[in-house]
Structure 1
């Protein structure tokens, strides 16, 4: 059991010792100087120890008072900080966004700084479970590639997504037109096996085999393309920053 004799008196003493004045302590505690003096005297009576040396124009802690104040002030500082954190946690808005890892790294995270400037009071939490992961009940919202027809969910279009082949700048001179891809290494993504066949069919390319290395996510394939391993299919605007920076 904690033996704390008189909490209001302890607060009054700590404030008076820190300010060196009953009047300034009274302003902080929103009471009168006489009330502060009375609470301190009650505390001294319960402790059986004098905490202040009182003179006409000066308030000075006794050795016991100095020791007490040195220990109390950091405790009250920590209590004030903890209280503020708890108060903030009850009012802070949390936005949990579920996204695929490639979208998070290539598009969303680079734009978070500007979002925080516009909405500093929102606690953003990014969670990824893979592009093919379902929407989770714990998410506030999700950003997913598709046509927006998901049962039980409301969807709004963010932007049109276009699939385009990309490679490192060093490989680009040898790839002037779609048919040149026949002699290139085509990088594949495991959860999107139809991407290359569909793109080649739309581009009028026949008898081409996507037999290059396979990756789990688009982001991995795009990094391999940046490193000159081959040609990847990138989703615009996911890759717009890479194109602007000359990485692809």
Structure 2
């Protein structure tokens, strides 16, 4: 049988140790300082260890108290987060989507109005941590590149990630064949340095150096391409809207897979949430209508 400590006392002690004051702990927990002091004394009596040295006008945790507080604070934080997640599952129509900033700006946000028309009562929140950001338990779901294997998560493939060079129309007019890229400024992405070599190999070019400005995100490189700085390696679906509108041009027919696909990922426990159910249905339909 699990033997839990005196939880009211543990909560009072943790607040007092974290804030260094019975009075501040009392304000946080909406009780009196005397109640906090009494709860801590009861806790000390039950576990048989002194947790504070009582000094004039301040509290000093004992070594045991410091160790106890260091363990209790993350436990209470985790409990608060878990409670918030479970409360959200009860029917609140709130959706937090974890997604990279470029995907959000160049594909998802431009289509957000469509989702809002389909599900006007769902509050959508974005968490944009970037390609390398780990999935957060505060997120309802995520959209990311990968191979479909994320331990502990369900994943559903949305669409391919194909690579093709893109540039402004004025630059495209000077590019008649892939060899012409040798004289062009090539825009690179720091976390995707393999993109240009992968495409260059597919295009049959040999010993072609990749030189040019390097950017942190695809979005920055694509904006530089739009502004006529050089030729960026475009990745679908980031470039789809700009290609259709003629803002960017793909001067060559050669396109190569990045070796990954875009996936919707989520924990199974989220599957029945109203906000996620509506978003998943809309996203899969929208992804299915995308021209690959």
Distance 1:139 1:97 in 2: 6
Paired position in structure 2 for 1:103? 103
Distance 1:236 1:194 in 2: 16
Distance 1:98 1:150 in 2: 15
Paired position in structure 1 for 2:181? 181
For the pair shown, the structure with the greater C-alpha radius of gyration is 1
Matches within 5 A, 1:205-216: 205-216=205-216
1:91 CA drift (Å): 5.3
Q: Say if 2:212 is the partner of 1:225.
A: no
Deviations 1:160-182 (Å, cap 9, x if unpaired)?
11111000000001112212111
Matches within 5 A, 1:186-205: 186-205=186-205
Paired position in structure 2 for 1:37? none
Q: What TM-score, normalized to structure 2?
A: 0.53
Q: Which has the higher contact order (CA 8 A, sep 6+)?
A: 2
Q: What TM-score, normalized to structure 1?
A: 0.62
Paired position in structure 2 for 1:145? 145
Aligned residues: 159
1:203 CA drift (Å): 1.3
Contact 1:162 1:235 in 2 (8 A): yes
Contact 1:92 1:123 in 2 (8 A): no
- The structure with the greater share of residues assigned to strand is 2
Matches within 5 A, 1:57-206: 92-206=92-206
1:146 CA drift (Å): 1.5
Distance 2:175 2:136 in 1: 42
What stretches of structure 2 of length at least 5 have no aligned partner?
1-89, 249-292
What stretches of structure 1 of length at least 5 have no aligned partner?
1-89
Paired position in structure 2 for 1:245? 245
SS in 1 for 2:228: coil
